[in-house]
Amino acid sequence: MLVDFHTHSSASDGALSPRDLLQRARQAGVTQFAITDHDTLAGCRAALCGYNPGAGETRLVAGVELSCVWSGVTVHVVGLGIDLDNPELNAGVESLQQARLLRADKIAQRLEKLGYANALAGARAEAGSSQLGRPHFARWMVAQGHVKDANEAFKKYLGAGKCGDVKAYWPQLAAVTGWIVTAGGTAVLAHPLKYKLTRMKLRRLVRDFVAAGGTALEVLSGRQAVDQTRMMQLLATEFGLLASVGSDFHRDSPWHPGIGVEAQVGACRGVWEQLQEAGSL
């Protein structure tokens, strides 16, 4: 059985529209699916508009991926089965969007000091109705001929430790997790290995996440070594967490997986089981 609880549409930094992303999931034979755009509910709303699956069709779960900070580290929490109309969640998402705008302004100021004028306007134009982020600055730099491709833009200007690596004023992990829980959703700690924490610090992160109301761990994210997946399954079991899986799909690429992940999580209980019981699927 193929599922996928972590994907991105053009509402944030993905290439496909929400409707096209859902259609791609259908074509791939994904049975349970979530669009989890960064800090916006717009993609999920668009996909759900007029969505009325028949028997045997892909079941769409309301989702989002929210940015937060823990112990000075930027962390992402995925919310699944959320109430898109929940006031607290919507207020929280609005605050994240404002934080993104402030970060974008700082990135633009730094780029302009290096001689790249009109960076903010250019990035906004590239973003259109999408959530503004560093990929849009990268696209603008490519379009202007400042760099040959997005990889060069991140390597020289936007990646970790570069001038465009501006830390946004994200809320704390506990607050963001609370928004998801209040909205009736399942809070999932996204791609835990991407934070490059020591094993001890990762366990501290998971412990604090559970204390805040988190109930699931993404044990498989994208292309991941088998031993890493087993390690994440053991971590989920240790803390009594459900297991989630996702491709973290953004666009077609030979270096990244397509949509759809096998629903195999060892001895762990899959998050899709809880979603079914809660009526979110």
pLDDT level of residue 253 (50, 70, 90 thresholds):
confident
Q: Over the stretch 144-163, which tens digit does the pLDDT of each residue have?
A: 999 999 999 999 999 989 99
pLDDT exceeds cutoff 70 at 166: yes
Residue with tokens 């800090």: 39
For residues 207-236, average pLDDT: 96
Q: How far apart are CA 156 and CA 35, in angstroms?
A: 31
- List the domain boundaries for the chain: 2-93+169-277
Q: How many residues does the chain have?
A: 281
> Cα 177 to the chain's mean position, in Å?
14
For residues 204-227, average pLDDT: 97
Q: Over the stretch 12-41, which tens digit does the pLDDT of each residue have?
A: 999 999 999 999 999 999 999 999 999 999
Q: Over the stretch 41-98, which tens digit does the pLDDT of each residue have?
A: 999 999 998 887 776 789 999 999 999 999 999 999 999 999 999 999 999 999 999 9
**Angle ∠(246,251,252) on CA atoms, nearest 5:** 100
Burial bucket for residue 20 (CB in 10 Å: 0-12, 13-18, 19+): middle
In the chain, the N- to C-terminal Cα span, in Å, equals 15
> In the chain, helix, strand, coil percent, each to 5?
45, 20, 40
Q: Looking at residue 54, what is its pLDDT?
A: 72
pLDDT level of residue 280 (50, 70, 90 thresholds):
low
Q: Looking at residue 169, what is its pLDDT?
A: 86
Residue 116 phi/psi, 5-degree rounding, is: -100, 90
Q: Looking at residue 51, what is its pLDDT?
A: 84
CATH topology of domain 2-93+169-277: TIM Barrel (3.20.20)
